[in-house]
Amino acid sequence: MPGRTAWVLADQLSFENPALRGADRVLMVEAAVRPGGLSFHRQKLHLVFTAMRNFADGMRERGVEVDYRRSESLAAGLASHLAEYEPESVAILEPNRLGAGERLAGLDPVVEIVDETLFLTEPSRFADWASGRKTLRMEDFYREQRRRFGLLMDGKEPAGGAWNFDPENRKPPPADIRPPKPYRPREDETDEAVRADLDRMEAAGLETSGEDGTRIFPATRKQALQALRSFCRDRLPTFGPYQDAMIGGERFMWHALLSSSLNLGLLSPLECAEAAEAEYRKGNAPIASVEGFVRQVIGWREYVWGVYRLRGAGMKEENALAADRPVPAAISGLDPSATEMRCLGDVIGGIRDTAYAHHIERLMVLGNLFLTLGVEPKAATDWFHSSFIDGFEWVMVPNVAGMALWADGGKMMTKPYAASGRYVDRMSNHCRDCRYTLKERSGPDACPLTVLYWDFLDRNRELLGSNRRMWMQMKNLDRIEDDELEEIRRTATGLRDDFSA
């Protein structure tokens, strides 16, 4: 059976995938997750396998022949397909993971890499934008994206009279309102089959993390569109003000919960941004909320993708702060009972139950703790990659190593995102019932985030002292008396040892 095969990977599940053009059939390979590799969250594996099988069914409904193989590896799946079908060519969209395209093309001469992307910004375009710039400011990139696609623009000017409404989008959690419940897809026989397969894999030795549970996130194009419509109708109007807020027990707040759908290819970033803009134009959502969402989708997400492709996979190996600690056991084990920190316990309990935490929980609770403890960047990146429903290497390397852990020494972010417990107190309700206090900077009752924050500044005084954006923090450090600073160091040492145990 000669002709052309389109090979579709797990994060390329778009019916607009350029590799599908002119294809006589589709190849999909569900490669076995091997014991000894990353311990992926059970719900993440469930979503990916279910989405792949649903996409295959969707292609069949469109009259396309699908060869769906469950193999030990991608290479084995390709080899068996070639032996049976003998295609003249196998087209595959350039994989998102750096180096993967070269490896897959090297499996057989008939494999052809389609040099396109499901992102809005091709790597070459981002490289052109970055060329000659001393710093790659996301804000500059974002504004160009707005102009390029005509999003939230009134002629040549930004809608609402400003490019950025961040000052309006940093409110603490409200005391009198709670977010509406998000869209929930219905499971079907495909989910049941995937769950049974995962049970068998675990019985055979596969290690996963987190809890099994009813699927929360979309696994089909139809479900993803329903989730987008539900967000725009019910949650977008109040998304902006509270996008940085945290409330104990509220897993999703007003967030869109569309990142996994975008990262699997079920939604395109442009259609998400356009849907949000339509709500603003109809008067259903304020400009601050819509701008905040559009910024995340066509700004930050595309910027992170561009940085990853520009800087290379070596970014994962950078370690400017010489951090060498393991991921804390309470976090790697997703055990909220293993910590007395209310904020941390709530976040890791949510990840255990849903494979999700929103961006401030990731950055200012988990990332902040990893940074100030000195967790090794590659270990941290691997944990984020395996534990989150939307985790892929291109997402986590820049976000974790570059942003949260400042492992590149400031190439991506000009200053480390280190903060004391005061930030969590301001943006959440966690601290009011926590056993730790914000009144102390050292000792057994002091908030661990506060202790580790001051210790982090002290340990990295030489490196951070010349950073103009850290000037105020370093001045505040200099005001701490020597005796108290020594006690902070002793308390921090004990905390690092406890977290590493």
> Which DSSP string do the residues of 122-154 spell out, in sequence order?
-HHHHHHHHTT-SS--HHHHHHHHHHHHTTTEE
Q: Do both 427 and 289 map to the same domain?
A: no
- In a domain? residue 203: no
369 and 471, same domain (yes or no) = yes
Neighbours of 144 (CB within 10 A): 13
Residue 195 placed within a domain: no
Q: What pLDDT score was predicted for residue 470?
A: 94
* End-to-end Cα, the chain, rounded Å: 58
Q: Identify whether residues 93 and 144 lie together within a single domain.
A: no
- From 412, 401, 344, select the one nearest 375 (Cα to Cα): 401
Question: What pLDDT sits at residue 36?
Answer: 60
Residue 61, token pair as written in the block: 């409904």
Return d(Cα 25, Cα 59) in angstroms, integer. Answer: 9
Q: Nearest 5°: phi and psi at 147? A: -65, -40
Is 9 in the same domain as 99? yes
CATH classification at residue 169 = 1.25.40.80
Query: What is the structure's pLDDT at 181?
Result: 92
DSSP β-ladder status, 4-7 and 25-31: parallel
For residue 316, the model assigns a pLDDT of 84
Q: Helix count (H) and strand count (E) of the chain? A: 23, 7
Q: Cβ neighbours of residue 474 under 8 Å, at least 6 residues apart?
A: 457, 461, 464, 465
Query: How far apart are alpha carbons 267 and 261 in whole angstroms?
Result: 6
Q: What is the pLDDT of residue 369?
A: 98
Cα separation of 248 and 365, whole Å?
A: 13
- Residues 82 and 7: beta-carbon distance below 8 Å: no
Residue 212 half-sphere exposure toward CB, CA atoms < 13 A:
11
Query: Are residues 427 and 356 located together in one domain of the fold?
Result: yes
Is position 101 within any domain? yes
- The residues pairing with 31 across neighbouring beta strands, listed in sequence order, are 71
pLDDT exceeding 70 applies to what percent of the chain? Answer: 99
Q: Do 300 and 376 reside in the same domain of the chain? A: no
Distance of CA 204 to the CA centre of its chain: 30
Same domain, 470 and 363: yes
Please report the pLDDT score of residue 274 as a whole number: 98
Tokens at residue 461, please?
A: 């005084």
Q: Considering only CA atoms, which of 244, 248, 215, 217 is closest in space to residue 230?
A: 217
- Does one domain contain both 265 and 361? no
Which of 311, 337, 361 terminates a domain? The answer is 311
**Maximum Cα interatomic distance, the chain, rounded to a whole number of Å:** 79
- Residue 194 domain flag: no
The reply to whether 386 and 466 lie within a common domain is: yes
What range defines the domain where residue 64 resides?
4-114
Give 387-401 pLDDT, tens digit per residue: 999 999 999 999 999
Residues 238, 100, single domain; the answer is: no
Looking at the 3D structure of the chain, how many domains does it have? 3
Residue 213: the pLDDT is 95
Tokens of 397: 């390397």
Q: Are residues 342 and 279 in the same domain?
A: no
Rg, Å, the chain Cα set: 23
The pLDDT assigned to 464 comes to 93
**Which residues of the chain have a pLDDT value below 70?**
35-36
Alpha carbon distance 81, 79 (integer Å): 5
